[in-house]
């Protein structure tokens, strides 16, 4: 996976992550700007950088991670 010279994600890469994040939040009725939604976005960005580059991989992997992880208390 190629990043820019400065290590930043391209607009296209950000679009993939953003779309997966929106879908993930919609499927769970979670506010994307809530702490849980923002945790998911951070996790998806890390997954993307590790090679999970397809939207369905991000949504599916995050689903599995949320099932494994106990809900955080707010």
Contact between 15 and 54 under an 8 Å Cβ cutoff? The reply is no
Contact between 66 and 50 under an 8 Å Cβ cutoff? The reply is no
Identify whether 73 is part of a domain.
Answer: no
Give whole-number Cα distances, 40 to 6, 14, 26, in Å.
Answer: 24, 14, 12
| pLDDT above 90: percentage of residues in the chain | 28
Identify whether 38 is part of a domain.
Answer: yes
The pTM of the full predicted model, rounded to 2 decimals, is 0.70
Identify whether 33 is part of a domain.
Answer: yes
Helical packing angle, 11-28 and 55-68, nearest 10°: 40
What is the number of structural domains in the chain? 1
> Where residue 73 falls among pLDDT bands split at 50, 70, 90?
very low
Residue carrying the six token digits 């769970």: 28
Range of the domain at 27: 11-68
- pLDDT at site 37: 92
- pLDDT at site 74: 43
């Amino acid at each position: 996976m190629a990043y820019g010279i400065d290590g930043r994600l391209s607009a296209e890469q950000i679009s993939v992550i953003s779309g997966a994040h929106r879908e993930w939040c919609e499927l769970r009725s979670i506010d994307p700007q809530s702490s849980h939604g923002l945790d998911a976005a951070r996790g998806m960005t890390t997954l993307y950088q590790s090679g999970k580059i397809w939207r369905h991989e991000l949504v599916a992997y995050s689903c599995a991670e949320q099932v494994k992880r106990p809900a955080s208390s707010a």
